[in-house]
Amino acid sequence: MPIVGTKEMFARANKEGYAVGAFNVNDMEIVQGIVDAAKEEKAPLILQVSSGARKYARPGYLVHLVKAAEEDSGLPIALHLDHGDDFEICKSCVDGGFTSVMIDGSKYDFEENIKLTKQVVEYAHSKGVVVEAELGKLAGIEDAVNVSEADAKFTNPEQAAEFIKRTGVDSLAIAIGTSHGAYKFKGEAKLDFARLEQIMKLIPAGYPLVLHGASSVPQELVEKCNQYGGKMPGAKGVPEDFLRKAAGMGVAKINIDSDLRLAMTASIREVFAKTPEEFDPRKYLGPARDAIKAVVKNKLKNVLGCSGKA
């Protein structure tokens, strides 16, 4: 099977009330760790490449790794550009073999975001590639001091419906209180589920929503990092229960990067601390790959509910 788009993946996920995991990839060990987990869980996958990852790995390299992963696993795998910030990078990825691209116009005002998203949708659709856009600003709820501030940052349900209609975009990332990175909440973790419900009511039935900033920052991994010389005090993520709830409410794609970084770093730190004489990279990248596999396996099976759905 060639690498696939996300249309069918999302349609099934929404019908059956689970979410597809979208995991960020930067190198071979990360790709393999994720795919090893998905193979065992027989889960569909989205492997996503940020512009930073593409620059780091150099254009082309990650595309070939993802193609190799698809050949090795036989799983439905989509290759997605994460947070494309202009038309050019989206076009370059469409032309370079990606099956899905994100145009992130969330930093622009509503009309400008619509204009840019439409431009990408027109080009991508002409080449059979699907598009994700973003409306609203990712920010932890603790940053929103009061309701009117939350209203200013989080996705406006009426605007979400209008945005989808006017752009023809295939999926939409929404802001309901998650944020990127390992420090998501200063106090109690909270997401605006009432807003998500309202958005669902106003958009077409079965339309796929996307949740960015969905790492749960497992505390045992933070402790392991810190135990072996790391410094990540107060790291905190989205509780797994919240993600299960979002998946059941129509969120079809859940983005995870920080948890993979954490698993990889904790594992490498442990090898370095326990065997300082070791200098063969396979001796620390191999365990790091296994640590990523373990994190992803747990997500697919116990959080996203997509085991057996490939």
Q: Which does 214 bind (CB under 5 to 8 A by kind): ligand G3H, Zn ion, ligand 13P, none?
A: ligand 13P
φ and ψ of 109, to 5 deg: -75, 170
C-beta separation of 100 from 131 below 8 A: yes
53 binds ligand G3H (CB under 6 A): yes
Q: What is the largest CA-CA distance in the chain?
A: 60
Segment contacting Zn ion by CB under 5 A, of 94-102, 148-156, 204-212, 230-238: 204-212
Which of 41, 70, 170, 257 binds ligand G3H (CB under 6 A)? It is 257
DSSP state, residue 106: T
Nearest residue to 50 (alpha-carbon basis) of 300, 255, 247, 306: 255
Cα–Cα separations (whole angstroms), residue 191 to 154, 175, 178:
11, 9, 7
Packed helices 193-202 and 240-248: angle between N→C axes, nearest 10 degrees: 20
Q: Which of 52, 60, 74, 229 binds ligand G3H (CB under 6 A)?
A: 52
Active site residue 36: no
Taking each helix axis from N to C end, the angle separating 28-41 and 281-298, rounded to the nearest 10 degrees, works out to: 40
Choose, by CB under 6 A, the member of 6, 14, 50, 156 that binds ligand G3H. Answer: 50
Q: State yes or no: residue 104 binds ligand 13P (CB under 6 A).
A: no
**Catalytic residue among 36, 72, 82, 170, which?**
82
Give the one entry of ligand 13P, ligand G3H, Zn ion, none that residue 113 binds, where binding means its C-beta sits below a cut-off of 5 to 8 angstroms depending on kind: none
255 scored as a contact of ligand 13P (CB under 6 A): yes
Q: What is the DSSP string of 205-263?
A: TTPPEEE-S-----HHHHHHHHHTT---TT-B---HHHHHHHHHTTEEEEEE-HHHHHH
Q: Is the Cβ of residue 52 or residue 248 nearer to ligand G3H in the bound state?
A: 52
CB of residue 24 vs ligand 13P: minimum separation in angstroms? 6
Contact code string over 66-85 relative to ligand G3H, x by CB under 6 A: ----------------xx--
Residue 298, burial from CB neighbour count under 10 angstroms (0-12, 13-18, 19+)? middle
User: Which residues are identified as catalytic?
Assistant: 82
Where does this chain bind ligand G3H (CB under 6 A)?
A: 24, 50, 52-53, 82-83, 180, 257
Where does this chain bind ligand 13P (CB under 6 A)?
A: 24, 82-83, 180-181, 212-215, 255-258
Where does this chain bind Zn ion (CB under 5 A)?
A: 212
